[in-house]
A and B are shown apart, each in its own frame.
Chain A
Amino acid sequence: MAAKSSSDFDSGRAESNEANSKWLDAHYDPMANIHTFSSCLALADLHGDGEYKLVVGDLGPGGQNPYLKVLKGATVLTESPLPSLPAAAATFLMEQHEPRTPALALASGPCVYVYKNLRPYFKFNLPQLPPNPLEQDLWDQAKEDRIDPLTLKEMLESIREKAEIPLSVQSLRFLQLELSEMESFVNQNKSKTIKRQTVITTMTTLKKNLADEDAISCLVLGTENKGLLIIDPEAFTILAEMDIPSVPVFLEASGQFDVEFQLAAACRNGTIYILKRDSKHPKYSIELSAQPVGLVQVHKILVIGSTQDSLHGFTHKGKKLWTVQMPAAILTMNLLEHRSRSLQAVMVGLANTEVRIYRDKVLLNVIRTPDTVTSLCFGRYGREDNTLIMTTRGGGLIIKILKRTAVFVEGTGEVGSPPAQAMKLNVPRKTRLYVDQTLREREAGTGMHQIFQTDLYLLHLRAARAYVQALESSLSPMSVTAREPLKLHAVVQGLGPTFKLTLHLQNTSTARPVLGLLVCFLYDEALYALPRAFFKVPLLVPGLNYPLETFVQSLSSKGTSDIIRVLVLREGQGVPQLSAHISMPVSEGLMAA
């Protein structure tokens, strides 16, 4: 045992690096075989000996083998099997008597199991719900053998699809059966009265009448039946019952039951409902754009993690304060409360094997873990006040202790919003003209839009007409006639007075060569002189680029320039195939001379 734990020490120490030097690696056991979520972790001094234990509602590998485990230090103190999967674990003080050892409550299925001194103390069952009258009627008929199992099955199925009130467990189980098993099941169960019971989805604690650390607390349960129940800690009676529009999955409570309290329930429909004392129904609701994956109350702010990989901060009245984007999906969240420094922060376990600690939207610390963390818990463990307990997807247990000297400083990590966002832009003041224009736009908006549209259409029309005309008169440097697709591209080189004019002529057809083309230059003879103003083009092989060079002599001494038009003609036709306008540059050589 000693050898095993020491190897754990060594591996834990090797992982510590500069980034999480705030933490001491106390223990890491990748094979601890603990599979659970943050809601099923609780820390409490269960025996009243000053040594805080860890209570784990363990789902077992693959959710097969639920156990209640109590850990002391790095070792499991006790283990006891559970009848069904745990939904939540909480520790609370039941009564005022000394010694004030907290009781342990474990919600599982339709029951809350209460343990004192780690011995079973009480089992609270959720109240039964009225069964569906139609279903009741069917089973009554079955009892008197007036209905055969097959018809019963059909009828029950139709109820399941239509009815508002869901079926009982007995009927649901019946529907799952094979034909051969039905008869015996009906005979076995027909005399039983059908019961409908809901299950607990979440649980938290709420102080009863004192805000003290060691005051007695009520249990608050969320059920699959879209309800919230507050349970008295001594008599285990229902003190209050509330309805919400969806199934609660996370609960946060603040205040005291007898004075004023507030419940926040994150539900499966992506909405957070906030309820107060004396309100049977939600007072405020916060609609998220995605499903919630965690709910933590930090001071007066509700911090909600959503499936869109982001954390949101909301006030108790549902006003959104901030949003922080996470680098990966959020797996679990819990509260970090550092009492001696009066710091409250949110710990977020991410899918990229990081645990991030945020105070509001400021990142305080990042812990890298060897495996993805599925549950987090911070508090007094053993004799150490600031212990962080994490369990991993692979069933590992990581225990880290916050150094006594560690201080979380803001701004060490990345800051929530970039500094540019806070900078004030120098927006000019509104002028008289601006105001007049705005007024006019407001009044005559439709007319202005219509005029603009008319002009735009006219412009389109004119452009189209010009294009058609250019195509018809072959004014463009691209010929698109089916027989002779040609491309012309002209380049002028030189400073003057002599320029070199290169015409690049290309036959863009795939196979057909072009023969019998002529090139003709049209220019002002007072300004330019060309050796040949008219020549024949050789055979154009498809795809090749033919550079046709000619020299242009500028005659003007005044530094004027003009346009030379290039026409590509076909022998025996009057209309040019192609045309291009070449803007000649000013002759710089002459100007210098």
Chain B
Amino acid sequence: MNEKTLKRVDIIFTPEKNYNEVLERTFRRPNSDILNDILDSGLRGRGGAGFPTGMKWKYTADQESENKYVICNADEGEPGTFKDRQILTQVPYKVFSGMAICAKIVGAKEGYIYLRGEYKYLQAEIEEELNIFHQTLDKLKFHFRIYLRMGSGAYICGEESALFESMEGKRGEPRNKPPYPTVSGFRGQPTVINNVETLVYAMMICDMGPEQFKELGSKDSRGSKVFSVSGDTPIAGIYELELGMHLENFVEDFGDGDTKAVQVGGASGFCVPRKKFSDTIIGFEGVPTGGSMKLFNSSRSMYHVLQNYLEFFEEESCGQCTPCRVGCQQLLKGIEAVKKGKKNSAYLDRLIRLATTMKYASKCGLGQSVGNSFVSIVTNFREEMIY
């Protein structure tokens, strides 16, 4: 490999043995100071949606309620994303500490980690670590407990309101928004729900101060991010990189020399073709991602990729709202019909209109984002859909 162009960052996976010192220091500071640091850092949610973390915490802190909750969303289901498991395996105490700091600011007594069923093999280990963490909290005289809840194989439960429904023992069907979780979340109470990685960054900002974090990234995308790199790459794996990078540089570092497209943000993300690598920025000002970066080389059929994604969505759609339930089925049937020659190529334009309708008419992020991959793949690789 040539020399790497992208700067590697090391914040998330640094050793965590001093986590109790960070907590001790942070617990002594006034809430408003800590919150200002988080706001000042520019940290935005690392699960994909990118909501400013400090604002989420502030809105929840402003609510009056005896029962507030902090929830760590570890239902990492987006195809091509596998960084949260690594974070929970390698630096669990940083995740817990992020939750405890958040609990202090918003005034929560209970926290929950919702871990996807596919990661059940980690359950015993995390529960053991939680016990140790609770002892640390007791020593610091901070009253907060974290409980582990398991998912059972449902992608949609990564959607925050579906996750609450699931934790309440129901089908994981998303709720209408508003009200947002900061007002009415788990058990109808004000709730902060953050991605695993977001919580670790929040804790690290408390450790190192917002300045160091702010220096990284770009104006709209401060800091770094953990990327899950897979597909046609000789070095698949988990990498922490600065946000705001050019996709071209990313492909230079991670591609196999024959990259024809990168799917940024998983099945619900965007497909960027080779000709657009040079003017695509990875970040909230360009193409955002929850971390999934999947490379495809010229041996791959983009029709096959899209078909695989649509099969995924068709199965994982909760079926609650019609645009998503029927839309996913029809998009899949539609591209198969075009491929077989049962429909002419102009039918693809009707399917694009359907995908666009789903974006506006679907109830939650799942149905709203099916069109991202659909439209970007069909538009950029139209000939592969037909021939």
- Indicate whether A and B interact: no
